Amino acid sequence: MKQRLRDLLEKKQAFAARSNEAGPAWEADQRKIESAIRRLQQTLDAVVVAEIPVDQEKVGFGATVVVRHGNGEEAAYHIVGVEEADPERGAITWLSPLARALLSRRAGDQLTFRSPAGDEELTILRVRY
């Protein structure tokens, strides 16, 4: 998130350097950048760094969980905050149905997860922080 903020601040400076090109589209882009900067700064001001739990064998916030799906495929999911979620990279928000199904479980646990595609059997293979 800090890197994203740095990138936006650099983009804002680049826009300021091109202020002679100002027009409706330039102003709209400038407002979008400034709005994104404000939102990100507010989020960073409110961030609380989660401590690694005492029981590191149990799935919790910040854990990377390797599961085997019913079809035999394995996948890793990192349980993160809402702003950090990037499902394509395996980072799922702790509020997601999958993360909530995994929370407080341990390696070796089996569970039935209700996905939009239907019920799926999952086996937790590893939990790490």
Q: What fold, for 64-128?
A: Chitinase A; domain 3 (3.10.50)
Q: Which tens digits make up the pLDDT trace of 23-71?
A: 788 888 889 999 999 999 998 888 777 778 888 999 999 999 999 999 9
pTM of the model: 0.66
Contact of 49 with 62, CB cutoff 8 Å: no
Domains of the chain by residue range: 2-46, 64-128
**Can you tell me whether residue 14 is helix, strand or coil?**
helix
Q: Where are the beta strands (DSSP E) in the chain?
A: 64-69, 74-80, 91-93, 110-115, 118-128
- Cα 108 from chain centre: 25
